[in-house]
Amino acid sequence: MGNDGHTASLFPHAKGLDSAINDRDSICAAITANKSEVTGEHIDRMTLTLNGIKKSRVIKLLLTGEDKLETYKQALAGTDIDSMPIRAVLQQKETPVIVYWAA
């Protein structure tokens, strides 16, 4: 998870994000992210869809640093998936999510 709330290459407000989150058949999708410090120059990405991520037996989210812990708390407190795609992973009920945090 990035400080912007992205996970995999599911970036906030990206072109193709809605499809990658809601497609119940595909495992991967094309995304065009908005250029940012996080994406760098490479905004055209291939990523797992939420459906693909949920095919895991368990989802493990590793967070390091106080900034990522704060982002995680913000993700838990809100519901807008477009602004923080990690919320789609955290809000789904099909696959267990285990979160590890290290300072």
Query: SS3 of 59, please?
Result: strand
Q: What's the pTM value of the predicted model, to 2 decimals?
A: 0.95
Ranges of residues in the chain with a pLDDT under 50 are: none
The rounded distance, in Å, linking the Cα atoms of 75 and 63 is 13
Average pLDDT, the chain: 97
Q: Quick: pLDDT tens for 33-54.
A: 999 999 999 999 999 999 999 9
Q: Can you give the pLDDT at residue 2?
A: 94
